[in-house]
A and B are shown apart, each in its own frame.
Chain A
Amino acid sequence: MTTTSTVPTVPYDEALQEFEPVIGLETHVELGTASKMFCGCDTAFGAEPNTHTCPVCLGLPGALPVVNATAIESTIRIGLALHCDIASWCRFARKNYFYPDMPKNFQTSQYDEPLCTDGYLDVVVAGETVRIPIERVHLEEDTGKSLHVGGATGRIHGADHSLVDYNRAGIPLVEIVTKPVTGTGAMPAEVAKAYVAELRDVLRGLGVSDVKMEQGSLRCDVNVSLNRPGEEWGTRSETKNVNSLRSVERAVRSEVERQAHRLRNGERIVQETRHFHEDTGMSTSGRSKEEATDYRYFPEPDLVPIAPDPAWVAELKAALPEAPSVRRRKLVAELGLSDNDSAAMVNAGVLDVVLATVEAGASAAEARNWWLGHLAQKANERGTEAVELPVTPEQVARVIALVGEGTLTAGLARQVLDGVLAGEGEPDEVVAARGLAVVSDEGALTTAVDEAIAADPDAAEKVRAGKVAAAGALVGKVMKATRGQADASVVRRLVLERLGVTEG
């Protein structure tokens, strides 16, 4: 379990000079429908265990599933946004396996007749457009959640028994599978991350999912193999449980480094499933795939075929929102952002949130400064990406507006954002709860100024004698006394006024 730290590796850049990477990504997206895929149970996250179940999603004998129309529509829209062909006729299939996360002992999925096939998604990495080919987009149902009891850390290892919650079982789940992606050269990890980020933006733009990686509504499996130039593709490993953008990058990177070392030493790569651990950024070996699982797929007899009307599909296609990449280009042009500025934001992965902050009413400069400054720093402290922080562009725009109207200083605004990040609520709630508004009551400020002057007669005397620079010490005292809640320029004016000095 913890043998990962001793796995020998070759540094990433060095590995990629010697080997060519082939990557593949399987992304699972929980759709944001109100009800489950085949029954009317609520899909809301965070309910008490097993309060969103019924005979259908519990797989009780005689229960019959019926397809959620919105889930079909959302899946087709995803396929269209990814430039896929939409099937004119397809069926669901049973994927048979025994595991307590599915009470039916099979998962209703799609096998050789997916709803959408053969598309692509373009992503920009280091200024270059990389086309990621999409193999298929199909619809299935999510599984329940297990809690392993008796083990040391809630993991399976050493567990005594497991407790299962079926609230999530049956929530519509879309699987998006890329074709093998070649030609990523020295940047397979960066391309993988950019793909998942772009896919998330597309899905968010379609409004089909809340795409929250931290809540598991968007999850990734990452396949990696290496080969020497001119040779056949190598054996691939599949890393599961990759649940943040940063981890997608780390998962590819660590596999490249691990596999390169084995190959360089003439060892073979085992075709296996590896498990990614968010805490260490490393993966550990799981089930070997060499004993291939036989799922005995067959057409689901309880569900009739889906045959999307081509006219309806054409309507859905015509009504698709603008692709994020197109919207991004337009906004960048409208805002007159420089190439350097937009490149910096693309590199930090914040261009979309900056643009969203601007759309929520902030100026481009302010939005840029907050996302590349304080929020980037906070993300760094937490070991995550700015876009994954629990703060929305609307909230950032509100904080910027509060600064603009003089309710907050920049320093207070930072504290308000910290409060939002700490889960204390909306910016206005944080301002109220923490008492962070600027003290604009000049009466109260004047009292604080007088106290500062009384406490530091030397500085006061110097100011009276014309050494205006000495006012800084007094201003500092007032700012400290008001815990940063005063506007420093107002305090400075008051200090000078009280000491009878006018600045020329």
Chain B
Amino acid sequence: MPEITREEVAHLARLARLALDEAELDVLAGQLDVILGAVAQIAEVTDAADVPPTSHAVPLENVTRPDVVVASLPRDAALAGAPAAEEGRFRVPRILDEE
């Protein structure tokens, strides 16, 4: 049984706003399936040994900063990377969905 179906890849591509054509979906579904198969092999071992999944590679906790204001970017610098700006704001295409 495959680890991931072509439909699931198409769904994920849509969620990630990736425009994949039919040929790309075929290729990627196959490649992802191989990768996930490899991960599943590792999971077999870790599940048997009761190893919890790793979300962070470094054993650190409670890294925080004090609540102190530091200078922000000048507005021109903040907007410099925007494809479009208007009235000191980032200009974005019309949003179809509701807020």
Binding site for B on A (CB under 8 A): 33-35, 39-42, 48-55, 58, 60, 66-72, 89, 91, 96, 98-100, 103, 146-150, 156, 159-166, 241, 273, 275, 286-287, 294, 296, 299, 301, 303-308
A147 to B78, CA, bound (A): 18
Q: Which of A40, A50, A100, A299 touches B78 (beta carbons < 8 Å)?
A: A50
Cα(A241)–Cα(B99), bound, Å = 10
Q: What are 12 A-B pairs with beta-carbon distances under 8 A?
A: A34-B69, A41-B72, A50-B78, A54-B78, A55-B73, A68-B67, A146-B95, A156-B98, A162-B93, A163-B91, A241-B99, A305-B56
Tell me whether chain B's interface is mostly helix, strand or loop, or mixed.
loop
A275 to B11, CA, bound (A): 28
- Chain B residues closer than 8 Å to A150, beta-carbon distance: 94
Contacting pair B15 A294 (CB below 8 A)? yes
Count how many pairs of residues, one from A and one from B, have CB atoms less than 8 Å apart in the complex. 139
A-contacting residues, B44-99, CB 8 Å:
55-56, 58, 60-73, 75, 78-79, 81, 86-95, 97-99
Q: Which residues from chain A contact B69 at a C-beta distance below 8 Å?
A: 34-35, 40-42
Question: Which A residues touch B65, using CB under 8 A?
Answer: 40, 66-69
Q: Is the CB of B97 within 8 A of A99?
A: yes
Considering the chains assembled together, what is the distance between the CA atoms of A273 and B86 in angstroms?
31
Known contacts: A48-B88, A307-B62. The answer to whether A275 contacts B67 by CB under 8 A is: no
> How many angstroms between the C-alpha atoms of A190 and B10 in the bound complex?
47
Chain A neighbourhood of B97, CB < 8 A: 99, 287
B95: contacting residue among A34, A91, A162, A306, CB under 8 A: A162
CB distance from B54 to the nearest CB of A (A): 10
- Point out the residue from A42, A50, A72, A98 that lies within 8 Å of B90, measured CB to CB: A50
Contact between chains at B89 and A49 (CB < 8 Å):
yes
Contacts of B87 in A (CB 8 A): 49, 163
Q: Are B90 and A301 in contact (CB under 8 A)?
A: no
Kindly report which residue of chain B lies nearest to residue A300, judged by CB atoms: B55
Selected from A89, A91, A160, A275, the residue in CB contact (under 8 A) with B94 is A160
Whether the pair A156, B90 counts as a contact (CB closer than 8 A) is no
Please judge, given known A-B contacts A100-B92, A100-B95, whether A34 and B67 are in contact too, CB under 8 Å: yes
Known contacts A40-B69, A54-B72; A164 and B92 CB within 8 A of each other: yes
Q: Which residues of B contact A303 (CB under 8 A)?
A: 63
Q: Are A299 and B55 in contact (CB under 8 A)?
A: yes
Interchain nearest-CB distance for A141 vs B (Å): 14
Q: Which residues of B contact A (CB under 8 A)?
A: 11, 15, 17, 55-56, 58, 60-73, 75, 78-79, 81, 86-95, 97-99
CA distance A35 to B72 in the complex (A): 11
8 closest cross-chain pairs (CB), A and B = A40-B70, A163-B89, A70-B67, A299-B55, A69-B64, A100-B92, A304-B60, A164-B90
Return the contact of B72 from the options A53, A60, A149, A287 (Cβ within 8 A).
A53
Report the minimum CB–CB distance from A152 to chain B (whole Å).
Answer: 14
Chain A residues with CB below 8 A from B88, complex form = 48-50, 165
Are A50's CB and B67's CB within 8 A? no
Please name all residues of chain B whose beta carbon is closer than 8 Å to the beta carbon of A99 when the two chains form the complex. Answer: 95, 97
Contacts of A42 in B (CB 8 A): 69, 72
- Cα distance A49–B78 in the bound complex, in angstroms: 11
Given contacts A41-B69, A52-B72, A287-B97, contact A161 B91 (CB under 8 A): yes
Closest B residue to A165 using CB positions: B89
Chain B residue with Cβ nearest A53: B78
Contact call A275/B98, Cβ cutoff below 8 A: yes
Pair A51/B72 contact, Cβ less than 8 Å:
yes
Can you name the residue of chain B whose Cβ is closest to the Cβ of A166?
Answer: B90
Bound Cα distance A49, B72 (Å): 12
Known A-B contacts A40-B65, A41-B72; A164 and B89 likewise in contact (beta carbons under 8 Å): yes
A103-B91 Cα distance, complex, nearest whole Å: 12
Contact B15 A96 (CB under 8 A): yes
Chain B residues with Cβ under 8 A from A54's Cβ? 70, 72-73, 78
**Which residues of B are found within 8 Å of A301, using beta-carbon distances?**
55-56
Kindly state the separation between the CA atoms of A72 and B93 in the bound complex, as whole angstroms.
36
Give the distance in Å from the alpha carbon of A53 to the alpha carbon of B72 in the complex: 5
The chain B residue sitting closest to A143, CB to CB, is B99
B99, A146: Cβ atoms under 8 Å?
A: yes
A346 to chain B, nearest CB (A): 35
Min Cβ gap B30→A in Å is 22
CB distance from A66 to the nearest CB of B (A): 4
Chain B nearest Cβ from A429, distance in angstroms = 29
Q: Report Cα–Cα, A67/B66, bound state, in Å.
A: 9
